[in-house]
Structure formats: structure tokens, C-alpha cells
Amino acid sequence: MFVPLKPNQNIGQNITWINPKFQIMVDTADAQMQIKDIFYSLAILVGINLLVSLILIVYNLNPNKLLLRGIGIIIYLFPIYFLIKKYTLKPFENMNKPYIWKYYFIGSAICCGINFPYSIWFRSGTVSQEYLLFLSRGHYGKIIYLLYLIILFPVMEEIYFRGYFFRILRNRTDFFWAALLSTIVFTIFHGSKVNILNIAIPGFIYAFVYERTGSILISILTHATNNTIWLFSSYLGTTG
């Protein structure tokens, strides 16, 4: 839990995380974050998504084309820009702490433990539509898809859902509720029915990693590792 801002503290001062074991320095500006900014940013995200969906319907476009997947990444830039104008985000903060990488490996190991058993479901015929799309692409298409999956989506999603969404909630409630609420919205925006647990559980893990490290970069790396593990386990599931 963050230490609340005291009356004699100025915005921009660093204060220590309330758990002294981790000694994470947190900008006191975090205590000024407003819950309403979550709703404003969500309204921007939902509004632009609806607009893009309307364009797809009107022009009968295939939403699975790589170009349109790229638009999906660009959509995140708008709510992130709205938030980043008001609140800072320091991706390399706390990177010198010795325990940082421990939580990266813990988070990645848990995601691995989820993904590999899940590959058994692929063998029973419940193949992810995303993985089928990956298989159907040519060599260059696969490279671009991997760029989206392993780099761009983890960066955009972690900055928004953990760096801001979870962080704003965390300053108003305890870890469990902040992680749960941000994970629910994170899962809804993925729109997957088959892979819902494969999205929700890692989403909660990303919040845990961010909570323990205070570094959005580590949660991005954990997310990217999970996506890589998911793709590899999907491959094993279809070839095993």
C-alpha cells in the first residue's frame, strides 16, 4: 500500500513504500491521482474502439488483417496520452534493486505453469483463433505478428492497465481489489471466451509483479515472456 500524501509534503517529493522490505520510492504525485481519470481514459478507449468497429462494419473490412491489428495498438496511444499529460511514468525506476529480477522470474514461471497445461486443451480441438491466424500468415506476416505480440502489445497494455489503471486504483484501495478490477477490464478488452483464464490469471500476475517491483518495465517483460510462452505452448499443443 502506498503511504498517503501528508499535508507538508510537496508534489514531486519521493516517499517510501509502506512495506519497508521492498523500499520502493514512489513519487508523491501518485497520491494526487484521481479515480475519475480512469473513467475518462476508459471512455476514450471504448469510444475509439467503437469507432474503429463501426468503420470495419461499414466498409466490410477483415479485423484480422495485420494493418488493423496495428491500429489496435495505436488506439491505446490516445488514453495513454491523456494520462501521461497528467501523471509521470518512469519505466526504469527501481531497476537497481536486487530483488527486481526475482519477481520477473516468479511471474514468468507462474505464467509458464498456466500455459503449458493449457496446451492440452489445444490437443482436444479447442485451438485459439489467434494461433490459427498466426499459422495462416506468410513469413513476413509472422514476423510482424510476433512484433505485435511480443513487443508492442505488452508495452501498450502494461503502460495503460498496470502503469496507470492499476496504479490509480492502488492509491485508493488495497492490492487485491486494485489488481482484480484492473484485471477484469484487461480481460474484457481482450474479448476472448476460449482463453479467458489464460488472460485473466496472467493479468493478475502482471499487477503482482508491478506491485512488488514498482517497475513497469519488469511487468512489460513478464507480459512479453508470457506471450512468447503462450505461442510456444500453442505450437506444442498442435504438433504434440
Does position 14 have pLDDT exceeding 80, yes or no?
no
pLDDT in tens, 37-96: 999 999 999 998 888 888 878 877 776 666 777 787 888 999 999 998 888 887 777 778
Q: Of 66-70, 110-114, 119-123, which one has max mean pLDDT?
A: 110-114
Inside any domain, residue 188: yes
Does position 26 have pLDDT exceeding 90, yes or no?
no
DSSP letter assigned to residue 65: S
Inside any domain, residue 6: no
Q: What is the pLDDT, as a whole number, of residue 121?
A: 61
Residue type at 3?
A: V
Inside any domain, residue 193: yes
pLDDT in tens, 126-148: 556 666 677 777 777 788 888 88
Inside any domain, residue 16: no
Inside any domain, residue 203: yes
**Percentage of the chain modeled with pLDDT above 70:** 74
Lowest-confidence region among 20-34, 202-216, 225-239: 20-34
Give the number of domains in the chain.
1
Burial 78-95 (b: 16+ CB within 10 A, else e): ebbebbeeebeeeeebbe
Q: Binning pLDDT at 50, 70 and 90, where does residue 192 land?
A: low
Better-scored residue on pLDDT, 132 or 213: 213
The stretches of the chain forming alpha helices (DSSP H) are: 36-58, 66-84, 100-123, 129-136, 139-147, 153-157, 167-170, 175-190, 196-213, 216-239
**Nine-digit cell string for 175:** 492490492
- C-alpha 179/C-alpha 207 separation (Å) is 6
Average confidence score pLDDT of the chain: 78
Q: Binning pLDDT at 50, 70 and 90, where does residue 237 land?
A: low
Inside any domain, residue 27: no
Residue type at 89?
A: L
Domain hosting 161: range is 33-239
Asked if residue 198 lies in contact with residue 83, where contact means CB atoms within 8 angstroms, the answer is no
Instruction: Report which of 53, 55, 46 is spatially closest to residue 79, judged by C-alpha positions.
Output: 46
- Orientation of helix 175-190 relative to helix 196-213, angle to 10°: 140
In the chain, what is the straight-line distance between the N-terminal and C-terminal CA atoms, in Å? Answer: 45
Q: Where are the beta strands (DSSP E) in the chain?
A: 14-16, 25-27
Lowest-confidence region among 27-31, 121-125, 197-201: 121-125
Query: Residue 26 pairs with which residues in a beta bridge?
Result: 15
Lowest-confidence region among 121-135, 192-206, 223-237: 121-135
Inside any domain, residue 117: yes
Q: What is the pLDDT, as a whole number, of residue 5?
A: 36
Inside any domain, residue 28: no
Q: Binning pLDDT at 50, 70 and 90, where does residue 182 land?
A: very high
